[in-house]
Amino acid sequence: TAFLHGDLKEEVYMKLPPGFESPDLSLVCRLRKSLYGLKQAPRCWYAKLSSALKRYGFLQAYSDYSLFTYTNGKTQINVLVYVDDML
C-alpha cells in the first residue's frame, strides 16, 4: 500500500477500470495519486517519505541518499530506505 500514496507531478491517464460502465468508450481516468505497478510509483513514494523525514528533522546522508539520521542529545535514529522497505 505504500505505493498508493505518492502524489503524481505529471499527468497520467489510464483506461477505465473493469466494471465501470460508460456509453462513451473514449473516456479515461486521470490519476492524482500513484498506483502499484505504475512506473512513477516508487519515485513518488520515496519523494513523499524523504520530505516527511526531513520535516521531522532527519538529515539525509550525502554518501548514501537512502540513509536518514536524526540526532537529539544522546538519542540517534538511523533510517535506511531500500525500495519500499525501511530498516
φ/ψ bin of 66: left (φ > 0), alpha (ψ from -120 to 50), beta (otherwise) = alpha
Q: Measured between alpha carbons, how far is 42 from 48 in angstroms, rounded to an integer?
A: 10
Q: Give the confidence band of 59 by pLDDT, cuts at 50, 70, 90.
A: very high
Give the residue-averaged pLDDT of 65-76.
94
What percentage of the chain reaches a pLDDT higher than 90? 30
Task: Give the residue extent of every domain in the chain.
Answer: 2-86
33 has a pLDDT exceeding 90: no
The three grid cell numbers given for residue 35, joined into one nine-digit string: 498506483
